[in-house]
Structure 1
Amino acid sequence: MGVRPGAHPASVRGVRTGAVAVTADGARLAELVRLVDEGVLTLRVAGTFALEDAVKAHARLAEGGVRGRVVLVP
């Protein structure tokens, strides 16, 4: 099955799917950065991994007990 904009595949084995559209919006991203910089929004990052270490990041998630997000960076 491929990914098609606007497509809503049928439920399979009780798993429902939905579509999310994302567009670039530099102004809104800048506003989020400002809110983080001001401490209004807080981020919880459990760890960062280089993109080539994605396997390690998945392994860390599989261990469980992760508090925060695991972030892949290029």
Structure 2
Amino acid sequence: AAEANITPAMDSQDFQTAMAAMATLRQPIDAFFEAVQINADNPTVRRNRLNLLSRIRTICSSVADLTKIDG
């Protein structure tokens, strides 16, 4: 859902909307890392989880270079 808001916002250079949409991801991503073992024993499950993380990273990187933030 956030991606559906982020992509058109970035296309129109509406950075405020894109950042607001990205901010909605914090709670679900935090919950994901608390509840899910990324490197699962099942290779298919592990690959799917790593692909999900890659997609999240790609979406967030399209909005801002978060590596520039201290902390």
Give the TM interval when normalised to the shorter protein. under 0.3
From the two aligned structures, give the one with the greater strand fraction.
1
Greater length-normalized contact order (CA 8 Å, ≥ 6 residues apart) = 2
The structure number with the bigger radius of gyration is 1
Richer in helix (by share): 2
